[in-house]
Amino acid sequence: MLVRTLYISRNSGPQTSTVTGSILKTALVFNKVHGITGVLCQGTGFFIQMLEGERSVVSSLYARILNDKRHKDVEIVSFEEIKDRKCKQWSMALIDLSDTDPMVVLQHPEFDPYAGGRDFLMQQIDDWIATGKPVQSPSN
Ligand SMILES: Cc1cc2nc3c(=O)[nH]c(=O)nc-3n(C[C@H](O)[C@H](O)[C@H](O)COP(=O)(O)O)c2cc1C
């Protein structure tokens, strides 16, 4: 049974490309082997991640992610059964929403994932995917 989960969290330390890079490195290896696909959005001080895969695999991965000290205030936005994946081609793509990103600064100057519900956040991710924001890692 395929599921998709979406959660938000805050960086527990300073947001650096080293931290995000090391998360992605682990994710690409594990996710590829275990049939997980998704996107990791790194904003200014926050993460939004979408994970897709078999329910048991997503559940146990989420439990590990929840306990990861590199972030805090983890909140599940949605966990739902799906027929099709949105992110077939990525075992984990990065969507970089740093504060220099014009889309975030101009269109969403006060973007706060904690203020948005499931539909709002899912729509944001769909828009970012549609406008080519996800960066596919070479080892993906
Ligand atoms: C925001 C965030 C997203 C993560 N995403 C994934 C992921 O998609 N896949 C993965 O295997 N690990 C991911 N991790 C890393 C896991 O939390 C964990 O470090 C990794 O699964 C290794 O687990 P272990 O140290 O218990 O062996 C993520 C961590 C964070 C902080």
For the domain that residue 114 is a member of, what is the CATH number? 3.30.70.100
State how far the Cα of 10 lies from the Cα of 102, in Å rounded to an integer: 21
Bridge pairing between strands 37-43 and 71-81:
unpaired
Q: Is the CB of 23 under 6 A from ligand 1?
A: yes
123 is a domain residue:
yes
140 is a domain residue:
no
- Give residues with Cβ within 8 angstroms of 45, minimum separation 6: 10, 11, 15
Q: What is the pLDDT of residue 131?
A: 84
Q: For the chain, which ranges sit under pLDDT 70?
A: 99-109, 136-140
Q: What is the pLDDT of residue 138?
A: 47
139 is a domain residue:
no
Q: What is the pLDDT of residue 97?
A: 83
21 is a domain residue:
yes
Give the other-Cβ count within 10 Å of 102's Cβ. Answer: 7
Q: What is the pLDDT of residue 140?
A: 46
Q: Is the CB of 68 under 6 A from ligand 1?
A: yes
DSSP 8-state code for residue 9: E
25 is a domain residue:
yes
135 is a domain residue:
no
For residue 54, give the nearest of 82, 76, 78, 28 by alpha carbon.
82
22 is a domain residue:
yes
Q: What is the pLDDT of residue 101?
A: 57
Report which protein residue has its CA nearest ligand 1's atom 8.
Answer: 27
Q: Is the CB of 64 under 6 A from ligand 1?
A: yes
Q: What is the pLDDT of residue 102?
A: 57
Q: What is the pLDDT of residue 65?
A: 98
Our CA angle for 84, 74, 30, nearest 5°, is 50
Residue range(s) defining the domain that contains residue 71 = 2-130
Q: Number of folded domains in the chain?
A: 1
Q: Is the CB of 40 under 6 A from ligand 1?
A: yes
126 is a domain residue:
yes
